Amino acid sequence: MPSSRQHIETVMNVVSGAIAVPAEAEEHLIHRSWIRCYRDYGLDPASRHAARIEPSPRLRERRARHERYLQVARAGMEQLYRHVSDLGYVLLLADADGITLDCVGDDSAQSPLSAGLVLGADWNELHAGTNGIGTCLAERRTLTCHRDDHYYAGNLGLSCTATPLFDPHGELMGVLDVSSLSSPEARESQHLARHLTALYGRMIEDANFMQRFRERWILRLGTVGALIDVNAELMLAFDADGVIVGANSGARRRLGLFDSTLTGDLIGHSLSAVFRDRVAEIWRLARGADAAERGLLHTWAGEGYHATVLAPRAAARPAAVVDAPAPAAAAAPAPTLQTLAGDDPRMETLIERARRLVARPLNILIQGETGTGKEVLAKALHEASPRAAKPFVAVNCAAIPESLIESELFGYKPGTFTGARSRGMVGLIQRADGGTLFLDEIGDMPLALQTRLLRVLSEGEVLPLGADKPVPLQLVVFAASHRDLQARIAAGEFREDLYYRLSGAVLPLPPLRERQDRAYLIRALLRDEAERLDASAAITPAALDCLLRHPWPGNIRQLRNALRYALSMADADGIDVEHLPPEVVDASQASGIAPPTAPVAAPAAAADAVPRSERAQLLDALRRHHWVITKVARELRLCRATVYRQMKRHGIVSPTQLH
């Protein structure tokens, strides 16, 4: 192993261009990382790297955010550790920011756990220099950072092998890392560790995939038919219309429709766009899912794969085999906090607060204009809470007639009033027991019922109409209103004590016209509506610009309706300005609203759907800040990962990567 001085000289020779490495050599990845560390991040290889440890409260929050995924990953890590424990390795699992969320290994003084490889350690390349976790995140590929590959001289004793972990949509979730403090000098000594790390990384990905899509149809493919049940090389999740909603890494790598370097190409396409076999053949396999019936499917590229189909949990089989998928459309997946927003600072703050709140039995008040997605946020909060498996009961207080709202909410006993059901009725409040009660438009609830609701919240029990004995309850209430409840309190139209019962926390949803992630929302809603209508999700830059400039007084609800109209009017080439509702076009031209800074790209189905200004704006910022990504991200109000994704999408390459 070279001395610290020799290592620093080598690093400086590489970053200055005095040493050139062939592009096909694996060392090229390491040297490219050294150049990033020196030129982009301003790191001095001669300085001493001080490990950063995430504070305990923030670490707990990160772990809670990935709880289900961590359970899957932990099982894989423990199994892998049994293979490498005698060799002195420690296993780390990091998130997409480089923070270690879990570790498995000996905690003695001789273990790598004593060298900063600990729970909560921050190994992002931005400040930790070249290392297994951070460089794997930057390169998005399996690699070994062996001893003097590290940027800082203080890490020369470490040997780290890391593999990236992707979610079913191709987004980077994090890294699985295997590290050792005492390894042989030769890089070849890490070949077995590299093989096992990559193997178990894919196993963790696929286990997460299976858990994520338990309620969807899953097509499992492989080149060896006898092994599909235990080792499906490729997996696709699809809905009841035969539309792909998820793909594992193997499927994205080998079944890409356009360019294998693009992630997510498969998502949103029909199975018929991938396989030349009739979709009826796949539904035939689906009908025999319980019998593990196998078939042979051929891609349009001529590759053949053995295939089986796993049925959704508690889902009905297709009744018949037809060319066009016959089953009714499956319900849309529940919303998640992560999918509610793009790069909008206000929404990022709101979601960050929401993540902290949902773990507690706290009533939450959501304020926002009509159509801003208050119920969608409430559902996402419920799904992220410990009550996710319990009922989510939504009540629109403005939609139920005043004469019925009391019986609907509180229920009643048999014979309570004329016309009542002979067996009585369990009220909506009681149906939410153990889960979440969502009271939409709470500001329109009559005063008399506000008093009864206050008692429910105060006493934790509900008294059905005609009953003598109250029923105990355990529930959390999410309330929402577009009205100014403080003004209604002042006017004597809303109880102040009820307001404070409901507003354990207040989450203000911004109107669509004020959000900086409008392009992200347009893309997400367009993809969703295109799937429902079996239409092309392509959109021209002019049409996208028109949508970005519209003031949207009806917010997201109005935007969704406009996209449905446009998809119905458009042809196979996608949406142009002429396909948008006339009132949207007229209002957009008169609004004077500028598109948000650095809008997110339009759907991948149309490469020309991204406004040209995004590339120019990003390139200007990169040049102005001398390609320092942190400063560019701060100016554009984006995270660093988003900047890198946009650079890749637009084919922008840093001058430091040209060496």
Query: Residue 550 in contact with residue 558, Cβ under 8 Å?
Result: no
Rounded CA gap, 405 and 427, in Å? Answer: 10
Q: Which range scores top for mean pLDDT: 33-37, 388-392, 655-659?
A: 33-37
Per-residue pLDDT tens for 184-222? 778 788 888 999 999 999 999 999 999 888 888 999 999
Rounded CA gap, 598 and 619, in Å? Answer: 11
Q: Which two tokens stand for residue 223?
A: 């080149």
Query: Where does a domain end: 141, 173, 199?
Result: 199
The residues that bridge with 508 in the sheet, in sequence order, are 367
318 falls within a domain? no
Query: Where does a domain end: 462, 486, 510?
Result: 510
Query: Where does a domain end: 174, 199, 224?
Result: 199
Whether 21 and 57 share a structural domain: yes
Q: Which two tokens stand for residue 472?
A: 């105990």
324 falls within a domain? no
Whether 170 and 25 share a structural domain: yes
What CATH number does the domain containing 411 carry?
A: 3.40.50.300
User: Is the alpha carbon torsion for 553, 554, 558, 560 positive or negative?
Assistant: positive
Q: Which two tokens stand for residue 637?
A: 């109000």
For residue 572, the tally of other CB atoms under 10 A from its CB is: 7
Whether 518 and 575 share a structural domain: yes
- Helix, strand, coil % over all residues of the chain, rounded to 5: 45, 15, 40
Q: Which two tokens stand for residue 200?
A: 């178990």
Whether 129 and 226 share a structural domain: no
Query: Residue 395 in contact with residue 428, Cβ under 8 Å?
Result: yes
Query: Could you give the C-alpha distances from 399 to 331, 444, 547, in angstroms and in order?
Result: 23, 9, 30
Whether 494 and 348 share a structural domain: yes
Per-residue pLDDT tens for 486-503? 999 999 999 999 999 999
Whether 400 and 489 share a structural domain: yes
278 falls within a domain? yes
The residues that bridge with 110 in the sheet, in sequence order, are none
Rounded CA gap, 117 and 115, in Å? Answer: 6
Q: For residue 166, what pLDDT band results from cuts at 50, 70 and 90?
A: very high
332 falls within a domain? no
Query: Which position has the higher pLDDT, 445 or 109?
Result: 445
Rounded CA gap, 524 and 518, in Å? Answer: 10
Whether 485 and 431 share a structural domain: yes
Number of domains in the chain: 5
Per-residue pLDDT tens for 363-382? 999 999 999 999 999 999 99
User: What is the phi/psi pair of residue 610, to 5°?
Assistant: -90, 130
Q: For residue 289, what pLDDT band results from cuts at 50, 70 and 90?
A: very low
323 falls within a domain? no
321 falls within a domain? no
| Predicted pLDDT of residue 332 | 46
What CATH number does the domain containing 240 carry?
A: 3.30.450
Q: Determine which helix (DSSP H) or strand (DSSP E) holds 396, and give its type and residue range.
A: strand 392-396
Whether 35 and 23 share a structural domain: yes
172 falls within a domain? yes
Rounded CA gap, 560 and 538, in Å? Answer: 16
71 falls within a domain? yes
Question: How far, in whole angstroms, is CA 258 from its chain's centroid?
Answer: 23
Whether 131 and 267 share a structural domain: no
The residues that bridge with 121 in the sheet, in sequence order, are 53
Q: For residue 558, what pLDDT band results from cuts at 50, 70 and 90?
A: very high
DSSP line for 179-198:
EESS--SSGGGGHHHHHHHH
Whether 153 and 236 share a structural domain: no
Do β-strands 364-367 and 476-481 pair in parallel, antiparallel, or remain unpaired? parallel
Whether 161 and 274 share a structural domain: no
What CATH number does the domain containing 601 carry?
A: 1.10.8.60
Query: Residue 134 in contact with residue 123, Cβ under 8 Å?
Result: yes
Q: Give percent above pLDDT 70 in the chain.
A: 85
User: Which range marks the domain in which residue 599 is found?
Assistant: 514-610
Whether 495 and 527 share a structural domain: no
